[in-house]
């Protein structure tokens, strides 16, 4: 039983969030990210699907060190953006689960 608890505590939930179109969407995504950062064992990658990098960097000032940002040069569509984010998050061998979110989803604090 103790062994199972130890292994459960090291499992990471990889959160993949895709944002596109505007700085306003990134701003709301920051609120979502801050909620998720309160969860234990979460690693977040924000996939920037074609927004200018400087706009994204400005919006992420306070939390950029706590997440990974994957910048795509142009809007490649959501399927491609999620695929790239999933590849990125699964490159961490501690990732046991993947949680896909849009930049306008605000999950409950107990989700």
Alpha carbon of residue 31 to chain centroid: 12
Alpha carbon of residue 93 to chain centroid: 16
Residue-wise pLDDT tens digits, 36-65: 888 888 999 999 999 999 999 999 988 878
pLDDT band at 110 (very low <50, low <70, confident <90, very high): confident
Residue-wise pLDDT tens digits, 18-42: 999 888 899 899 988 988 888 888 9
Say which residue, 2 or 45, is predicted with more confidence: 45
């Amino acid at each position: 039983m103790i062994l199972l608890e130890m292994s459960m505590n090291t499992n990471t939930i990889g959160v993949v969030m895709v944002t596109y179109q505007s700085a306003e969407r990134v701003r709301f995504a920051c609120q979502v990210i801050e909620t998720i950062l309160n969860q234990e064992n979460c690693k977040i990658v924000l996939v920037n699907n074609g927004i200018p990098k400087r706009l994204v960097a400005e919006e992420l000032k306070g939390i950029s060190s706590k997440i990974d940002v994957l910048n795509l040069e142009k809007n490649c569509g959501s399927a491609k953006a999620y695929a790239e984010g999933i590849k990125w998050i699964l490159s961490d061998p501690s990732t046991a689960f993947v949680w896909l979110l849009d930049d306008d989803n605000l999950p409950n604090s107990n989700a």
